[in-house]
């Protein structure tokens, strides 16, 4: 890495070329990912055309966008030639509109049509990520006909693993797997082998539903149809795997209330991160004003027993942590479909039982501390508060995601930071109200 950066600085072109020629594609891909934007293009130009194309194809889409933005059109077009149209659409979605327009203009008419079609669908829907490269067969054909068609087709071997069956109007009727054709006798009518007449997704359906269908049906390729059930594209398992990883990353970021970061974290700019992270932090500052107001209400209680403040972070954190656990469990179960928005009532009783048991165990632990630091009254206040705070925190964590999903807000928003802040406010009130009552102030 450093060696290579030094070579670039010193302009040692021959040495660098020789070194790059010895590296394999995966090492090159890692190298290109790690370099700065300018060095990236530099190294890229030293690769021979076919190696460059192979490396480019496997880069993350944000890395591709970075490279394309810094290269000249003929170079870019060469790279685009070897990419699939669905990958074009993903790349173009990342590029500035002006660059997209310029590149589209110089592409072949067929490629342009394919990309434009995919770009016409909103982001996140199945149509946007489908590929126009797939094999079709008509109802009337036999196994032999289809095998001959595959043999002569211009599709790549990995695009043949499912064959979609359509009628004269291109309506989707089902699929057959390539292996079925091998097992069957040549004169078998394909209608005898057909499966999955209900296994397809509409172009406007969220892509996550298409991925779920691929997972459920264990198929290498899923048919994508328009509103009249006419076959228009296909999503393959390898795209499903990539998208699943992308979607999981977005979900996890949302769980820390981080907005969309459309690039590898290593390359994100200060401005991008500031914009993604600040909004919720500011909202939470205002939410937390309520805990301050709560404390102000109990100023007298605090003034008379300052030792109460010692236990404040401990107690409110415990509620927040228990709440974070419940909300994380529920949000994930909702995402995988293990729990749906009607299940809340069923889970409340069990959650309360778990929370009270945990609260009691934690109360025993803190009562010792309370005794040592503040005497028996403080110990009693702290223990009772612990039980209630863990219970309330857990129930908030459990119910908030259900509430969000009722309000059509992404339940992942009800995550650690928000649950912690709300649990803190309740914790402050419970704690000082309990203290005021027990101390008889």
- Of residues 77 through 136, those in contact with a second copy by CB under 8 A are none
Residue 161 binds a second copy (CB under 8 A): yes
Eight-state DSSP code of residue 230 = B
- Nearest to a second copy of 43, 308 (CB atom): 308
Tell me the number of residues near a second copy by CB under 8 A.
110
For helices 2-10 and 13-22, angle between their N-to-C axes, nearest 10 degrees: 150
- Nearest to a second copy of 15, 299 (CB atom): 299
How many C-beta neighbours within 10 Å does residue 206 have?
15
Residue 416 binds a second copy (CB under 8 A): yes
Question: Least distance in Å: CB of 231 to a second copy?
Answer: 19
Which H helix or E strand runs over 3? Answer: helix 2-10
Q: 324: which residues sit within 8 A by CB, 6+ positions away?
A: 397, 415, 416, 419, 420
| Contact positions with a second copy (CB under 8 A) in 5-34 | 26
Which alpha helices (DSSP H) does 203-264 contain, by range?
Answer: 207-217, 237-255
| Contact positions with a second copy (CB under 8 A) in 38-67 | 58
Residue 345 binds a second copy (CB under 8 A): no
Q: 85: which residues sit within 8 A by CB, 6+ positions away?
A: 111, 114, 115, 118, 131, 132, 133
Question: How far, in Å, CA of 261 to CA of 243, rounded?
Answer: 15
Sheet holding 172-177, edge to edge: 135-138, 162-166, 172-177
393 strand-pairing partners: none
Question: How far, in Å, CA of 286 to CA of 361, rounded?
Answer: 33
- Nearest to a second copy of 111, 369 (CB atom): 369
Question: How far, in Å, CA of 229 to CA of 343, rounded?
Answer: 33
- Nearest to a second copy of 24, 113 (CB atom): 24
With CB under 8 A as the contact rule, the residue among 77, 178, 403, 441 that binds a second copy is 178
Residue 353 binds a second copy (CB under 8 A): yes
| Contact positions with a second copy (CB under 8 A) in 364-403 | 365-366, 369, 373, 390
- Nearest to a second copy of 103, 380 (CB atom): 380
Residue 215 binds a second copy (CB under 8 A): yes
Residue 322 binds a second copy (CB under 8 A): yes
Sheet holding 231-236, edge to edge: 200-202, 221-225, 231-236
How many C-beta neighbours within 10 Å does residue 392 have?
21
Interacting span for a second copy (CB under 8 A) from 46-54, 101-109, 137-145, 355-363: 355-363
Question: Least distance in Å: CB of 325 to a second copy?
Answer: 5
Residues comprising the chain, all counted = 441
Question: Least distance in Å: CB of 362 to a second copy?
Answer: 6
Eight-state DSSP code of residue 122 = P
With CB under 8 A as the contact rule, the residue among 325, 367, 383, 426 that binds a second copy is 325
Contact indicator for 417, 324 with CB cutoff of 8 Å: no
Interacting span for a second copy (CB under 8 A) from 12-20, 69-77, 105-113, 158-166: 158-166
| Contact positions with a second copy (CB under 8 A) in 242-301 | 242, 244-245, 248-249, 252-253, 255-258, 261, 264-266, 270, 273-274, 277-278, 280-282, 284-286, 288-289, 291-293, 295-296, 299
Question: Least distance in Å: CB of 70 to a second copy?
Answer: 20
């Amino acid at each position: 890495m450093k060696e290579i950066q030094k070579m670039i600085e010193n302009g040692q072109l021959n040495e660098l070329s020789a070194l790059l020629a010895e590296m394999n594609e995966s090492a090159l891909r890692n190298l290109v990912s790690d370099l700065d934007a300018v060095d990236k293009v530099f190294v890229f130009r030293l690769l021979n055309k076919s190696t460059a194309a192979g490396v480019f194809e496997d880069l993350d889409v944000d890395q591709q966008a970075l490279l394309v933005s810094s290269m000249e059109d003929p170079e870019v077009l060469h790279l685009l030639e070897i990419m699939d149209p669905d990958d074009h659409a993903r790349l173009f979605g990342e590029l500035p509109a002006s660059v997209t327009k310029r590149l589209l203009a110089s592409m072949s008419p067929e490629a342009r049509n394919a990309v434009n079609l995919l770009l016409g669908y909103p982001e996140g829907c199945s149509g946007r990520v489908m590929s126009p490269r797939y094999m079709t067969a008509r109802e009337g054909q036999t196994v032999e006909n289809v095998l001959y068609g595959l043999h002569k087709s211009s599709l790549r071997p990995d695009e043949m693993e499912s064959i979609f069956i359509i009628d004269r109007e291109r309506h989707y009727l089902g699929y057959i797997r390539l292996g079925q054709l091998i097992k069957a006798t040549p004169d078998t009518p394909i209608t005898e082998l057909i499966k999955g007449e209900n296994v397809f997704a509409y172009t406007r359906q969220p892509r996550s539903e298409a991925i779920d269908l691929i997972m459920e049906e264990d198929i290498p390729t899923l048919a994508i149809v328009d509103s009249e059930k006419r076959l228009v594209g296909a999503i393959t398992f390898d795209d499903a795997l990539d998208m699943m990883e992308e979607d999981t990353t977005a979900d996890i970021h949302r769980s820390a209330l981080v907005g969309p970061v459309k690039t590898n974290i290593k390359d994100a700019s200060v401005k991008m991160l500031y914009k993604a992270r600040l909004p919720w932090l500011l909202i939470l500052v205002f939410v937390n004003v309520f805990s301050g107001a709560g404390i102000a209400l109990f100023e007298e209680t605090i003034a008379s027993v300052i030792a109460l403040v010692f236990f404040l972070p401990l107690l409110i954190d415990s509620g927040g942590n228990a709440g974070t656990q419940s909300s994380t469990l529920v949000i994930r179960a909702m995402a995988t479909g293990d729990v749906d928005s009607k299940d809340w009532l069923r889970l409340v009783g069990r959650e309360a039982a778990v929370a009270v048991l945990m609260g009691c165990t934690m109360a025993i632990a803190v009562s010792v501390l309370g005794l040592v630091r503040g005497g028996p009254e403080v110990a009693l206040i702290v223990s009772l508060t612990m039980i209630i705070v863990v219970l309330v925190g857990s129930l908030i964590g459990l119910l908030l995601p259900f509430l969000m999903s009722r309000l059509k807000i992404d339940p992942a928003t009800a995550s650690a930071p928000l649950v912690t802040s709300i649990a803190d406010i309740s914790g402050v009130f419970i704690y000082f109200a309990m203290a005021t009552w027990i101390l008889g102030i």
